[in-house]
Amino acid sequence: MTGRALARIAAAVVAVLLSAGAAADAGAADPAETARILRHGPWPMPWRPDPGNRLSGDAAAAALGRALFADPRLSADGSVACATCHRPDLHWTDGRPRSAGLAAGDRNAPSLVDVRRWRWFGWDGASDSLWAASLRPVLDPREMGGSIAALAGLVRGDPVLAGLYRQALGRAPLADDTALAVDAAKALAAFQETLASGRSPFDRFRDGLAAGDADAVSAYPADARRGLALFVGRGNCSVCHLGPAFTSGEFEDVGVGYFLERGRVDPGRADGIARLKASPFNRLGPWGDGGGADAAATRHVASQPRDFGLFKVPSLRNVARTAPYMHHGRLATLEAVVRHYSEVDEERLHPGRARLVRPLRLSEGEAADLVAFLRSLTSDER
C-alpha cells in the first residue's frame, strides 16, 4: 500500500470518528498510528508444523491426542485430565485464579487456543515445545502426578488408545516406555495445534483499514476504536502485545506481585530457564525430531538476574473469554486488568531501562474504551 493510500484511509478514519462524536485525540488516525494498527494482522497467520514433532499437523495423531487429553487415567489417581484445567467450555482454561490438580497450584491455567504458535510454553517458559509442555504437567506431582511408565503402560494397554496409536504411527505401541510416552506427548501436541482462534471484529476493522473499505472501518464500534488508539498509542501496550497474535511471546515484568505466601515467591522466568535447561525433553535433547536445528533459542537462552519475577506475555486474542488474569489469576476482570495498568506502582518496575509500563492514569471513559477494544478481539466461533 502506498503512503498516499494510507493517508486517504487515515483521513477516512478521522471522518468516521468525528461523525461518531468520538473523543479520540486529533492525532489518533495519523499514518504512523495506522501503520501500528495494521501490524496486528492479518489473522489468521500462516502456520507451519513443528519440526521438532514428527506428528505435528497430523490428523490421526491429533485424534490420539484428543483422546489422551480428556483421559483422567493420565494422572496418578485417575482424577485429573488435561481437560480438568483446560476445559473446552471455558476456552480451554478452568476459570479459576489458580488451578488445582492433585494439589493446589500457584498459577492460572492459560488458554490453549493458538498455543501452536508459541516458542516458549507456560508462564515461565519451562518448555520449548508444545509436546514437552504437554508432558510436563503429566509428570508434575502437584498437577497429574503421573509417570513415564504409567503413561506408556496406558497407551500400550488400552485397546482404544493402542488402536489410535497404530493409526497415527503405523505401528504397534513401542516397548520403550520413554519413547512411547514421548509419542503420546507429541500426539497431545498435535491435538492442541488444532485449537486456533478465528477472526474478530478487530480483524475486520483492521483488514478494512488495510483495504480502504470504509464500511468495514465504520462498522467497528467507536469505543473500541478509541481503546485501540490508546492501545497502540499512549498505552504502549502494543510494545509487548505486538503483532497479529498480540504477544511478543517473551517475558516481562508488568508490576504484578509474585509473593505466594510469606517466605515463598514465584520466580517466574528465572526458574523456567533452569527447568528448561535441565529437561531431557527440550529441543537439545534426544527426543525431539528437529535434530537440534530447531534449538537455537534453547541453546542460547541463559538466565540473568533480571529474569526473576518475569512472566510470559499472553496473547490477547479472546482475552475476554479467559478470566481471571495474570499468572496468578488475581485480577478477576478485564476492568481490573486495565485498572492495574492505569494505577501500576512504577517503583515496582525497574526504571533503569526504557520503561515500557507506566501508570496510564486513565479516565473512567478511557478505561472503558480500552476494555471495549480488548473485547473486540473476541473471535466469532465459540
Partner 1 sequence: MGAAPRNLLAGLLLVATPAGPGSAGELPIVDAHIHYSADAWEMLPPEDAVRLLREAGIRRAFVSSSSDDGTQKLLAAAPDLIVPVLRPYRRRGELSTWMHDPAIVAHLEDRLARFRYAGMGEFHVYGGDADLPVVRRMVELARGHGLFLHAHSDAAAVERLFAQDPDARILWAHSGFDGPGNVRTMLERHPRLWCDLAFRSDHAPGGRLDPEWRALLEDFPDRFMLGTDTFAPERWHSVGRHAAWSRGWLAELAPPLAERIAWRNAEALAGAAGAGR
- Chain residues binding partner 1 by CB under 8 A are 253, 257-259, 261-265, 267, 270, 302, 304-306, 308-309, 345-353
Residue 354 CB, nearest distance to partner 1 (Å)?
10
- Asked if 187 and 155 count as a contact pair (C-beta separation under 8 A), the reply is no
Closer residue to partner 1 in complex, CB, 77/345: 345
Residue 75 CB, nearest distance to partner 1 (Å)?
30
Closer residue to partner 1 in complex, CB, 170/263: 263
Residue 262 CB, nearest distance to partner 1 (Å)?
5
Residue 54 CB, nearest distance to partner 1 (Å)?
31
Closer residue to partner 1 in complex, CB, 201/329: 329
Closer residue to partner 1 in complex, CB, 39/264: 264
Closer residue to partner 1 in complex, CB, 33/253: 253
Residue 275 CB, nearest distance to partner 1 (Å)?
14
Query: What's the length of the chain?
Result: 382
Residue 342 CB, nearest distance to partner 1 (Å)?
15
- Look up residue 257 and give its three cell numbers: 506481585
Residue 348 CB, nearest distance to partner 1 (Å)?
5
Closer residue to partner 1 in complex, CB, 196/349: 349
Closer residue to partner 1 in complex, CB, 8/264: 264
